[in-house]
Every structure is written in structure tokens, then in C-alpha cells.
């Protein structure tokens, strides 16, 4: 029944995700969000029932493989951060114990318990915070025991009910199920999984104050793995209006070996920068986006850029508990070097700063780096999707294309093999459904692995089945990974980025006269020459009649429509490293909104567009050689 239930649910959740990414009226957006939330709730119920069935039947196998603890925590942060942000809760992840990095155990089940406890805490907390702590509870030679604690400021549980919270089909009272939903199986599954991993689980709670759910897990440690630390002691300035969040960021940055100064407002940050000697300026500034008052994070970043010359301006990181896509669409994000999702962890902070330093070192401008990093995570990666369901193919195509991937479709394993034989160098990764007519994914992968040219081609099993036997069959056939439908978009994107084999490509020889294009920056943003070429050609096709469309809107006195087209043109030009068009289209938008005479700027914009179209054609010819 797993396959029969999950297949239509995959389509529902995928289409709801795509609708959420589109421009919808407020009411329509709210309804789509409810559809997706209800679908997720149904998926959670299905997963709970399947897990209990597997545990009861003795089919739940605990793995023993190496993993990075930081990766598990980062996955948790990514999956739970938006849920906490939607409820305006502060989700904090305390720094991990020093020296605890590479471990051996079951990372998947550890993450499952953490996600279950954290999502429960978020569900039952109306205001305040949810906090994850990881502590070293014991050590013996190369083995250690970690204690994970999830604390919240939620409704709490009455003492007489606490003994039953880990029992199946039991919640604190009957009204809880009606108010918050769920199967009542989540904590039972946590108890059983922790027991299978050799640990213990428990809780403390005070009604009206909050709860702490904790568990211990014994793990094997590889002490040779290095900690994350900076090459030198960075001087960092961190601003957040929340005392607790500020202290947590201070602890995380200090744990990286940085010298940290903290402030509680944008005004205080700016005052310090203006008063500080040039040789004492911070190298990194981390700003909370939603600080109260006139000086929120974006306003502070704008003031910093205005106050300091570019060569003295520190790296500016924006931290937010809200959607990266939503923040990236707001004017002003071009003023920051990177956007960092809350909850912040040591590895996400370190990686954001390292990436920003690299871009600064390469002489990159700040225009839209943060925006592109969130909107085109799969830029240029060539993915073959194999699925017999037309709806599922369409959903996967739209989702991955929206992330910048170049997607090819096949309806079954035989069609996939035929296409791969004809195009062996045109694919970086295969997403292969397992159950298909004509030829299933298992058999197709077996045949693929017999061909030496596809030895290292990543193949990911994509299936609505959810049992260990199916995963074993996929692995035995030569598949690299296993994703259960409906797939989680961020996790799938991260997996594709990790697995794909990047073809070694040299930039095409492009005439130096193509001054209207910043080719080096474009290739940096889009990763590969074919991806950059394809999107440039789409741009040329889409905007061939842009000036005529603007003039048509002006004839009927629709300045708003004309300005909207100019705005869209400016954004797409920035994303494709076409600086002249970006600048002139932005100027045209302002002129149109102010209802001034746009003739001069539109003539200049038309000239720039024609030059860009010619340059794109020459670039494409060079790329094809």
C-alpha cells in the first residue's frame, strides 16, 4: 500500500510546492499553503504507521556508518527553521561539543528522532523559543555517549500525564489531537529508535512553562577528524535584538576562534563603525534581518555601504528565520554578501563567510550573488528523470528546472537506456523511478552498470516504496542513493549537488568586444558554459520584443505594466551578468513609475538590448565550437 498511497501524494505536494513559488493573490497563497501543510501532515501519518509496522515486525535495521554530526544538525536546521519562522519562534542550536565531528552510527535514525522532537516542540509552542543542546555525556577510548536535549517554552505537560507520553496513540489529552493533529505515534517511534540505537530517552515538563525532551546515543568517534576553525582569528561584529539569539551567535562564532563584538541594534552597529579606527574595523558583520525600528538588517547594510568605501567595507552576512526566496526578492539584498538561514550553526556560518571571502578575492561584485545562490542551486546540472507517471515527471521537471537544472525526461527504463546510449556525455545524474512498466528502474540500472562509460554516473532511486528490502535492491543494482516519494525539495537539491559529476569544461573563446556581457561573472554564477549559454538564449528570445511591449503599454496609459516589465528585465539581466541592461532597465522602471518622459532611456535600453542579443549570438557560437 505504501506505493499506492505515496504516488498521488507526491504529485499533490509537488504541485502545491510549485504553486507556492509562483505569484499568487494573498487568499490563493494561503489556500495553497494549507493544501501543502495538510499533505505534509498526511505524509507524516503514513510514515509513522510504516515505521511502527517495521519496528513491530523486526524489520527496522540500525546502520553503522561514518557521518559528520554537523551534517545531521545542519539538515535539522534546514528542515525546521522555516516552520519555526512561520510561528515567529526563535529556534536556537547551541554549539556542538568541541572535538566531536566524525562519528559512526545511524545518522538517518538519529536525525529522525531529532526532527520528531523538534517538530513537536515547535507544534506545541505558541511563543518564545525552541532550543537544541548537544552535550558529551560520557567517553571511553574511541566511543562516546552524546546527550541531545530539545527544550521549549510551550504549553507543557501535567505531571499525571507524563508517564504516558511515550506510549502509542497517546497524547497529553484528547483535545491535543484535535488542536494539533498527529497520530500519537511519534514519541513511541522515538523511544523505540533510541532503544534500538542503545540509548535512553526521557522528559521533564512544567505546565505553562515548557518541556525538555532528551535522549542519549552511544557512538563511535574518529578522533583524527579536524574541527571547523578559521585560518586566522577573524574580527566579527554581530547584531541581533534578541538577547538569547545574540548570545548563541556569540558562542558559535567564538567557537570558530573569532574575536566577537555584539550589538543589539542597527544604530549601535553603525555608531561603532563610524567611531572605530580603520585598522580595527570588523572583517565580518552578521545582521539579523528583522530587528525592530527603522534600522532593520537591510537598512543597516545600506547605511554601512554608504558610510564606508568599498575597499574598507566588511563582509556583511544577513541572518533570517524567514524564506530565503522571499528575502532574496526584496530590494536591498544586493547590499549583502550572503544570506544565512536561521537557526545558524557553526558550519553554515563558517561556509557563508568562506564563500564570501572567496568571492571578494575573485573581485566579484555584490549585485545578486545572494539572490542567485538561493534561486539557481542546480544551475547547469543535467538531470535525466525516469518515471512512468506523467504527473510525477511534470512535477519533477518543473521543480528541478526552477532550480536551474537542465532536465531530460524518459517514460521507462528502456527509454532511459536508449537515450543514454545516444547521449552519453549529456547527463550528470539520473533520477530513476523503481517501479515502471516495460523495464523497471532496478533492471535499467543493472544494465547501465555493465557499460563502462556509465561506471561513475550517479543514479538515484526515486520510489514511492519505503521498505529496507527495496533500498537493498536499489543498492545491489548499483544505485547510489535512495529517495522516497514524495521527495523533500531542499534535501533532494542538496543530494543532487553532492552527487553530480561536474564535466570538465573550458570557457569558450569569446571576443573581447563583448563588453555588454560580464562573461567571467556569468560563468561563475551558472557553473557551466552550456547552462549559461542556454539561459542567455532564453533571455534573447523572451525580450526580443520588450521595448515594443513597453511602448504598447504606454499607448494605453498603463505605466504600471510598463514599469513591471522593465523591473523584470532588470532582474533577469542582473542574473545573467548583463550590467548595461540591468542599469538601464532599472532606470527605465524608475522613470516609468514617476510618469516622466521615458523616451531617452528607452532608446538607450533598446540599443543595449540589440548589442546584447548580438553578443549572446557570438557567445553561443563560441560555446558550440
DSSP secondary structure of 345-405: -HHHHHHHHHHHHHHHHTT--SSSHHHHHHH-TTTT-EEEEE-S-HHHHHHHHHHHHHTT-
Quote the pLDDT of residue 8: 76
Q: In the chain, what percentage of residues exceed pLDDT 90? A: 27
- The CATH class of 519-624 is mainly alpha
Residues of the chain with CATH 3.40.50.2300: 235-373, 382-499
- Are the CB atoms for 188 and 171 separated by under 8 Å? no
- Dihedral class, residue 337 (left if φ above 0, else alpha if ψ from -120 to 50, else beta): alpha
Q: How far apart are CA 324 and CA 376, in angstroms?
A: 12
Q: pLDDT tier at 179 (50, 70, 90 boundaries)?
A: very low
Q: How far apart are CA 268 and CA 422, in angstroms?
A: 62
Q: pLDDT tier at 318 (50, 70, 90 boundaries)?
A: confident
CATH annotation of 235-373: 3.40.50.2300
Encode pLDDT of 472-520 as tens digits. 788 888 998 888 776 777 778 888 888 875 443 444 444 433 457 877 6
Q: pLDDT tier at 49 (50, 70, 90 boundaries)?
A: confident
Quote the pLDDT of residue 525: 62
Residues of the chain with CATH 1.20.120: 519-624
The least confident of 312-321, 384-393, 485-494 is: 485-494
- Dihedral class, residue 485 (left if φ above 0, else alpha if ψ from -120 to 50, else beta): beta
Q: Which residues pair with 131 in a beta bridge?
A: 92, 151
CATH annotation of 64-222: 3.30.565.10
Q: Which residues touch 28 (CB under 8 Å, ≥6 apart)?
A: none
Mean pLDDT, residues 140-153 taken together: 93
CA distances in angstroms from 129 to 87, 93, 178, 578, listed in the order given: 10, 11, 23, 44
CATH topology of domain 382-499: Rossmann fold (3.40.50)
- Are the CB atoms for 197 and 220 separated by under 8 Å? no
**What's the mean per-residue pLDDT of the chain?**
81
Q: In the chain, what percentage of residues exceed pLDDT 70? A: 81
Quote the pLDDT of residue 230: 52
Between 515 and 353, the more confident residue is 353
Q: pLDDT tier at 524 (50, 70, 90 boundaries)?
A: low
The least confident of 152-166, 225-239, 437-451 is: 225-239
Q: Strand 429-433 vs strand 406-410: parallel, antiparallel, or unpaired?
A: unpaired
Amino acid at each position: 500500500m505504501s506505493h499506492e498511497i505515496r504516488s498521488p501524494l507526491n504529485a499533490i505536494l509537488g504541485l502545491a510546492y510549485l504553486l507556492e513559488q509562483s505569484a499568487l493573490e494573498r487568499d490563493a497563497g494561503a489556500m495553497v499553503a494549507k493544501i501543502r501543510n495538510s499533505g505534509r501532515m498526511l505524509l507524516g501519518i503514513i510514515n509513522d504507521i510504516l515505521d511502527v509496522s517495521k519496528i513491530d515486525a523486526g524489520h527496522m535495521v540500525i546502520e553503522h556508518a561514518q557521518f559528520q554530526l554537523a551534517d545531521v544538525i545542519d539538515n535539522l536546521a534546514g528542515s525546521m527553521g522555516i516552520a519555526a519562522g512561520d510561528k515567529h519562534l526563535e529556534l536556537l542550536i547551541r554549539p556542538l561539543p568541541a572535538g566531536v565531528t566524525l562519528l559512526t552510527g545511524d545518522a538517518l535514525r538519529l536525525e529522525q528522532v531529532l526532527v520528531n522532537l523538534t517538530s513537536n516542540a515547535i507544534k506545541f509552542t505558541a511563543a518564545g523559543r525552541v532550543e537544541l543542546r548537544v552535550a558529551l555525556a560520557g567517553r571511553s577510548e574511541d566511543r562516546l555517549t552524546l546527550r541531545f536535549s530539545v527544550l521549549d517554552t510551550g504549553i507543557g505537560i501535567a505531571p499525571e500525564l507524563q508517564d504516558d507520553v511515550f506510549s502509542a496513540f497517546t497524547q497529553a489529552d484528547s483535545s491535543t489531537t484535535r488542536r494539533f493533529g498527529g497520530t500519537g505515534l511519534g514519541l513511541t517511534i522515538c523511544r523505540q529508535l533510541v532503544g534500538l540505537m542503545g540509548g535512553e530517552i526521557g522528559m521533564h515538563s512544567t505546565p505553562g512553562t515548557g518541556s525538555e525532551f532528551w535522549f542519549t546515543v552511544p557512538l563511535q568517534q574518529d578522533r583524527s577528524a579536524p574541527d571547523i576553525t578559521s585560518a586566522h582569528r577573524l574580527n566579527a561584529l554581530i547584531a541581533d535584538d534578541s538577547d538569547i539569539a545574540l548570545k548563541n551567535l556569540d558562542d558559535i562564532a567564538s567557537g570558530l576562534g573569532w574575536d566577537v563584538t555584539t550589538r543589539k541594534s542597527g544604530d549601535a552597529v553603525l555608531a561603532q563603525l563610524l567611531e572605530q579606527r580603520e585598522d580595527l574595523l570588523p572583517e565580518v558583520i552578521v545582521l539579523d534581518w528583522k530587528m525592530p525600528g527603522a534600522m532593520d538588517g537591510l537598512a543597516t547594510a545600506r547605511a554601512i555601504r554608504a558610510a564606508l568605501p568599498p575597499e574598507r567595507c566588511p563582509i556583511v552576512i544577513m541572518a533570517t528565520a524567514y524564506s530565503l526566496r522571499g528575502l532574496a526578492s526584496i530590494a536591498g539584498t544586493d547590499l549583502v554578501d550572503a544570506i544565512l538561514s536561521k537557526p545558524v550553526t557553526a558550519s553554515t556560518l563558517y561556509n557563508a563567510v568562506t564563500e564570501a571571502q572567496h568571492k571578494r578575492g575573485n573581485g566579484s561584485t555584490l549585485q545578486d550573488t545572494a539572490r542567485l545562490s538561493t534561486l539557481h542551486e542546480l544551475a547547469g546540472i543535467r538531470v535525466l528523470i525516469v518515471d512512468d507517471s506523467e504527473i510525477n515527471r511534470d512535477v519533477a521537471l518543473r521543480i528541478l528546472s526552477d532550480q536551474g537544472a537542465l532536465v531530460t525526461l524518459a517514460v521507462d527504463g528502456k527509454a532511459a537506456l536508449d537515450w543514454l546510449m545516444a547521449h552519453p556525455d549529456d547527463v550528470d545524474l539520473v533520477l530513476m523511478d523503481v517501479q515502471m512498466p516495460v523495464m523497471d528502474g532496478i533492471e535499467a540500472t543493472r544494465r547501465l552498470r555493465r557499460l563502462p562509460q556509465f561506471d561513475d554516473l550517479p543514479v538515484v532511486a526515486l520510489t514511492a516504496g519505503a521498505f529496507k528490502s527495496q533500498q537493498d535492491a536499489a543498492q545491489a543494482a548499483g544505485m547510489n542513493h535512495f529517495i522516497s516519494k514524495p521527495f523533500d525539495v531542499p534535501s533532494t537539491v542538496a543530494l543532487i549537488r553532492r552527487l553530480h559529476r561536474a564535466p570538465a569544461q573550458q570557457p569558450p573563446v569569446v571576443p573581447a568586444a563583448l563588453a555588454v556581457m560580464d562573461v567571467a561573472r556569468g560563468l561563475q554564477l551558472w557553473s557551466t558554459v552550456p547552462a549559461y549559454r542556454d539561459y542567455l538564449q532564453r533571455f534573447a528570445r523572451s525580450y526580443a520584443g520588450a521595448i515594443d511591449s513597453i511602448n504598447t503599454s504606454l499607448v494605453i496609459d498603463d505605466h504600471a505594466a510598463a514599469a513591471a516589465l522593465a523591473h523584470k528585465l532588470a532582474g533577469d539581466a542582473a542574473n545573467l551578468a548583463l550590467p548595461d541592461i540591468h542599469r538601464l532597465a532599472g532606470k527605465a522602471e524608475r522613470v516609468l513609475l514617476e510618469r516622466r518622459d521615458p523616451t531617452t532611456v528607452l532608446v538607450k535600453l533598446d540599443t543595449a538590448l540589440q548589442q546584447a542579443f548580438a553578443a549572446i549570438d557570438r557567445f553561443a557560437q563560441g560555446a558550440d565550437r
